Amino acid sequence: MKKLDIEYYNPVRVCFSLNEDVELPAKISITKTFLIVSETASNLHPDILKRLSNNAIIYRSQGSNPDICDIDTIDVPLDCSQIIGIGGGSVLDTAKACFAKLLTGGRYSLSELIQNPGILENYRTKRSHLNLILVPTTFGTSSELTKWGTIWDWRNYKKYSINHEFLYADIALIIPGLSHSVPRDITASTALDVISHALESIWNRKSNYVTRIYAIEAIKIVLEILPKLIKDLDSREYRVKQAKASVWAGWAFSQTQTASAHALSYPLTLFHKIPHGYACSITLGAMFEYNFHKAKTELEEVLCIFQKRYGTTTSTFNDCFLRFLQDCNIPYNLRDYGVTSADISRLVSNAFHPDRFSNMVHVLSEKEVEEIYEAVF
């Protein structure tokens, strides 16, 4: 029998509002809540926090990319019926990890749940009685739309994902105004994450017609607004458009997952503390050529979009992408981030992430990974 041409599943109810004083969806109940919020969001958005924290136990998350051991020490109240995460991608991923602990009644460590996410299948009935609500305050990770969360192990220089359909949020509350106070570097980094998600969902073995539509729209929006937004961070129009682009890209890669650009980014973040969006984007130009011959029809459309804004009909994608980064005043060489040529061998040996590599239409060899790092050095 023939396989289906397209299969698409994303159960997240997306509630998008241009106003911070929006009426909250009825599903956000008044039952006992565990609210995980970034310190920044707690200080900058007290009104929305107050409305969501009714009858809640509040945990304030510190910093980005929290360590697996730190998350494991969070005292999740096991009698609550709802977890709400408010913040950037790290906070939302932390909320997902805590939700997995709530679902299992705290019987398993986070390491056990990462290694064997099938454990969660035993709690299907319980899942129907719990709510996971995610409210992003930055727009790029799209964690509010996916079923996985990124977990870092800084002691052992490892990156993990906790991955299960039960970690899809019940509601993603998208309020672009919550990002108005986000500084330039985070704004740029998250927007580059959008482009990374979109491109990696296109040169992906799981790509389909629907995901490509979302991905292309996300790319168009970011190319249009990012050079303007970083010069006008108070622009409501551009903040709204970035939020929309993040949703489109999220709907795309929630089906495909990411691919090798993300795999190559992990050691850049682990060893050199390069912010995630910058780390993902820095290899995109070089990686495009490796995938072009295997996804030519889809990537020709992407190439034309970049050529219209940053080149001519004879320009390569890499040339156009570099001009885009220059237009945004974003570093585009590894040495700009303090990486030396002596670091490349360690980056190569730590870049291999089997599921990310196998997702890409062109599966990179170790030699090609080294060539890509050297090309962007």
What length is written for the chain? 377
The whole-number pLDDT of residue 30 equals 61
The whole-number pLDDT of residue 50 equals 77
Structure tokens belonging to residue 43: 């200080």
The CA distance from 5 to 116, in Å, is 30
Domains, in order of start, for the chain: 13-177 (3.40.50.1970), 183-375 (1.20.1090.10)
Phi, psi torsion values for 108, nearest 5 degrees? -130, 150
Helix 184-202 and helix 260-272, axial crossing angle in degrees, nearest 10: 150
The whole-number pLDDT of residue 51 equals 77
The whole-number pLDDT of residue 61 equals 87
The whole-number pLDDT of residue 25 equals 75
Give Dmax over CA atoms of the chain in angstroms. 62
Residues of the chain falling short of pLDDT 50: none
Q: How far is CA 272 from CA 133, 233, 343, in A?
A: 32, 27, 10
The whole-number pLDDT of residue 272 equals 96
Tell me which amino acid residue 306 is.
F
The whole-number pLDDT of residue 43 equals 73
Residue 171 and residue 13 in contact, taking contact as beta carbons nearer than 8 Å: yes
